[in-house]
Copies of this chain bind each other. A is one copy, B any other.
Amino acid sequence: MFEILLKNITRRIQLTSEETALFTSLLSVKKLKRRQFLVQEGEFNKYSAFVTSGCLRSYTVDKNGFEHVLQFAPQDWWITDMASFLHNLPGTLFIDAIFESEVVLIQRSGIEKLYQTIPQFERYFRILAENALVTYQRRLMDNLSLTARERYDHFCTRYPSLIETLPQKQVAAYIGVTPEFLSKMLNTGTGRKGQTETS
């Protein structure tokens, strides 16, 4: 049931069978239908979710109604509204399932218990946070300095499996252009920054 998650963890740290038992006792499983929300903006994000099948995304909706995707989480990825989860604040993100999905959930209190009883989890989540940090830093620099076309190409290179499965509209909301602009760009080879990007 927790096989994919345990495999993910043992790539970074080694657990005894007692530790594995304690860890899995803190988990729960949730199935999500397509478009079903894990959490909505304004709600407290009490769980961190590890995707075992399907794909989730976190996003905001701006005042003009445009969606902006912060993260896609296919199988083997964690997703949460970090600011809300860590600091017990109302969330600023929507998190929903792009396809029918299954996630493993752990509460903040569960993670705190892990840190106290199995300190190796400090290492596991440190490595995850550092890797995520590198990803966001890179993406931020891309958004500031690259054209839409270049951002799209980077996305294709970095996430070849996502580009095959995601609706184009979702990719547009990730790279920061309208779906119409992305479609036109792919058909005509345009994509210079400042043309008709979102908002």
Measured CB to CB, the residues of A under 8 A from B are: 60, 62, 66, 68, 70, 82-83, 86-87, 92-93, 115, 119, 122-123, 125-126, 129-134, 136-141, 143-147, 176, 193-194, 197-199
How many monomers of this chain does the complex have? 2
Q: Which single residue of chain B is at the shortest CB-CB distance from A138? A: B83
Q: A83-B138, A146-B199 are in contact. List 11 more A-B contacts (CB 8 A).
A: A60-B141, A82-B134, A82-B137, A83-B137, A86-B134, A92-B138, A126-B129, A133-B133, A136-B136, A143-B144, A194-B197
- Bound CA–CA A141/B119 (angstroms): 32
Q: Which single residue of chain B is at the shortest CB-CB distance from A131? A: B86
Known: A83-B138, A126-B122. A144 touches B193 (CB 8 A): no
Q: Which single residue of chain B is at the shortest CB-CB distance from A62? A: B145
Known: A122-B119, A123-B115, A199-B193. A68 touches B133 (CB 8 A): no
Chain B residues whose CB sits within 8 angstroms of the CB of A136 once the complex forms: 133, 136-137, 140
Q: Could you pull out 22 A-B pairs where Cβ atoms are within 8 angstroms? A: A62-B145, A68-B144, A70-B140, A82-B137, A83-B134, A83-B137, A92-B138, A115-B123, A119-B122, A119-B123, A122-B122, A122-B126, A126-B126, A126-B129, A129-B133, A133-B136, A136-B136, A143-B143, A143-B144, A144-B176, A144-B199, A147-B199
Max count, chain B CB within 10 A of own CB: residue among A123, A125, A133, A198: A133
